Amino acid sequence: MRDMFDSLFKKRATDEVAPSQRPAAATSEPKMQTSHVLPRLAHRLSGLQHPRVLDMGSVVGGNLQFFIELGCKITSDDLLKAVAVVRPDGGKGIDWKNPTTNRLDHADDAYEAVIAWDIFDFLPPAEAQIFAKDLQRVVKPGGVVLAYFTSRETERREPHRRYRIQARDKIEWIPVSTTRMLRHVYQNRDINLFFQGFKTHTAFVLQNGTREMLLEKKLPSTEAVVAPAPAKPVAAKPKGPMLKVAVEREGEMVRPGLYRNTK
């Protein structure tokens, strides 16, 4: 099956500094990145009547204000914080390995948009697939998910980030922890598997190898169901042979009739 991301990814080299030109300490410094997906999301939301948006990153007042000014009803649910405290010894935090865990405590079809940021980078494959299904549950048909995915092994040690929207096309990436939880690198086929109920609306590969994506939840099938034509009634067959006889009345022949042979 052809990858649904083929021909959708577009390179943008003019807005960012090449990795070889960055100083070694840049990974601990805030970075201003040009977003090619956020303007499309903003345009989409501004055309809706009070759309509901779920921000799953760190709470940033500027981000909330950005969506409020678009006419959105914004909800913040910092799941990145929960990911950071998951420990192999069973410490406190969300039990990501339990498929019945309610990761998103929100109603079905509740949001026109979900801002997932880079949360999938920190989820193993099984948990990522389950979480994507939960996203599909809370997003309305035709709604979208904004997400980042690391694509290079050299970026696996990048720290957790806080994303601060500075303008419609500018997002500041701010490291928030010195803890080096390794990121997972998912290929396009993996993302395709996670988001089976979605289609790719827009996708870009940034200079640092991060994929910036807008995934749209598929609408229910609108194919009309054609009801089968009702069966025509079938006349009951007589049990015995039919005899055509002529009935005489007062010497005149009358209309022939059908009479059942009862012999």
Contact 204, 146 (CB under 8 A): no
Tokens 């290929």 belong to residue: 187
Task: Give the torsion sign (CA, 166, 26, 117, 15).
Answer: positive
Concatenated DSSP letters of the chain? ---TTTTTEEE--SSS--GGGS-GGGGGS-EEEE-SSHHHHHHHHHTSSS-EEEE-S---HHHHHHHHHTT-EEEE--HHHHHHT--TT--SS--TT-TT---S-S-TT-EEEEEEETGGGGS-HHHHHHHHHHHHHHEEEEEEEEEEE---GGGTTPPPEEEEEEETTEEEEEE--S--PPPP---HHHHHHHTTTEEEEEEEE-TTS-EEEEEEEPPPP----PPPPPPPP-PPPPSS-EEEE--EETTEE---EEEE---
Interatomic CA distance for residues 191 and 131, integer angstroms: 12
Two tokens, residue 21 = 């030109």
CB atoms within 10 A of CB 226: 6
Q: Which residues of 22-39 are buried (b: 16+ CB within 10 A; e: fewer)?
A: eeeeeeeeebebbbbbbe
Segment 108-161, tens digit of pLDDT: 999 999 999 999 998 999 989 999 999 999 999 999 999 999 988 888 888 888
Segment 202-235, tens digit of pLDDT: 999 988 889 999 999 999 876 544 556 666 666 6
Contact 204, 9 (CB under 8 A): yes
pLDDT given for residue 92 in this prediction: 47
Point out the least confidently predicted range of 13-17, 49-53, 196-200, 249-253.
13-17
Count Cβ atoms within 10 A of the Cβ of residue 134 and give its class: 0-12 exposed, 13-18 middle, 19 or more buried.
middle
- Report the CATH superfamily, name and number, of domain 9-217: Vaccinia Virus protein VP39 (3.40.50.150)
Q: Whole-model pTM?
A: 0.68
pLDDT for residue 47 is more than 70? yes
Interatomic CA distance for residues 120 and 185, integer angstroms: 9
pLDDT given for residue 2 in this prediction: 41
Domain borders along the chain are 9-217
Interatomic CA distance for residues 11 and 209, integer angstroms: 10
Contact 195, 5 (CB under 8 A): no
Segment 183-209, tens digit of pLDDT: 999 999 999 999 999 999 999 998 888
